[in-house]
Amino acid sequence: MIVGLTGGIGSGKTMVGKIFKDIGVPVYNSDKEAKRLMKSSKKIRKAVRELLGDDAYAGKELNRAFIANRVFQDKSLLHKLNTIVHPAVREDFTSWAKKQESAYVIQETAIIFENSMQSFYDRIILVTAPEEIRLKRILARDDGSKSKVLDRMQNQRKDSENIPLSDFVIDNVELDQTYLKVLEVNKDLLEYSGR
């Protein structure tokens, strides 16, 4: 059984993913694995170089600042980059998922609804938190400016649009409440899986 874990920037997808991991559920972090694949897969490196130029890599390392800058300025480049990276991540996730022996696995990804990928998942968990809290978290975590974070938030779908499309909503404000909710969701998912 495949469970999607999603939510807006700074909602706490990775944090919630960590709690599921702690209670023994295999969690695939799409963002992290995409970066790994962009670095390690020869095929992807070649395609990214062809699309963005040799500066996309500094030696073996991904030149993230350069890539972010290029795709931030040109939406069609972002779309083309996604058509290189997303299918590779999907393939990698699928082969990873087949190797797991648990009742269900979780794929953490920011883009389930944006890419209309709902049908890929048996169940979808949405992580939410008020925008001002999300903003504070991101500013505390990353170097970026307030306006850039607000810009990204404005470009994402609203929680109110995503809630009706999700099977579970985890409102992640107080961590102990989040933890209890994860236990509850896990219980439901185990029941649903029939294991």
How many chain residues are in contact with ligand ATP, going by CB under 6 A? 15
> Site for ligand ATP (CB under 6 A): which residue of 172, 181, 182, 185?
172
Contact segment (CB under 6 A) with ligand ATP among 71-79, 97-105, 171-179, 183-191 equals 171-179
Q: Which of residues 94-113 bind ligand ATP (CB under 6 A)?
A: 110
Cβ nearer to ligand ATP, comparing 4 with 12: 12
E strand intervals along the chain: 2-7, 27-29, 57-58, 61-62, 105-108, 123-128, 168-171
Q: Which tokens sit at 166?
A: 């999700």
Q: Is 181 in the site for ligand ATP (CB under 6 A)?
A: no
CA–CA separation, 58 and 48 (whole Å): 13
Contact segment (CB under 6 A) with ligand ATP among 50-58, 65-73, 77-85, 170-178 equals 170-178
Q: Is 4 in the site for ligand ATP (CB under 6 A)?
A: no
> Site for ligand ATP (CB under 6 A): which residue of 12, 47, 52, 113?
12
Structural contact between residues 140 and 22, judged by C-beta atoms closer than 8 angstroms: no
> Site for ligand ATP (CB under 6 A): which residue of 61, 99, 141, 154?
141
Question: Strands 57-58, 27-29: parallel, antiparallel or unpaired by DSSP?
Answer: unpaired
CA–CA separation, 130 and 82 (whole Å): 28
Q: Is 137 in the site for ligand ATP (CB under 6 A)?
A: yes
CA–CA separation, 122 and 174 (whole Å): 27
Going by the DSSP 8-state scheme, the letter that residue 103 receives in this structure is S
Structural contact between residues 13 and 108, judged by C-beta atoms closer than 8 angstroms: yes
Q: Is 10 in the site for ligand ATP (CB under 6 A)?
A: yes
By the criterion CB under 6 A, which residues form the site for ligand ATP? 7, 9-15, 110, 137, 141, 172-173, 175, 178
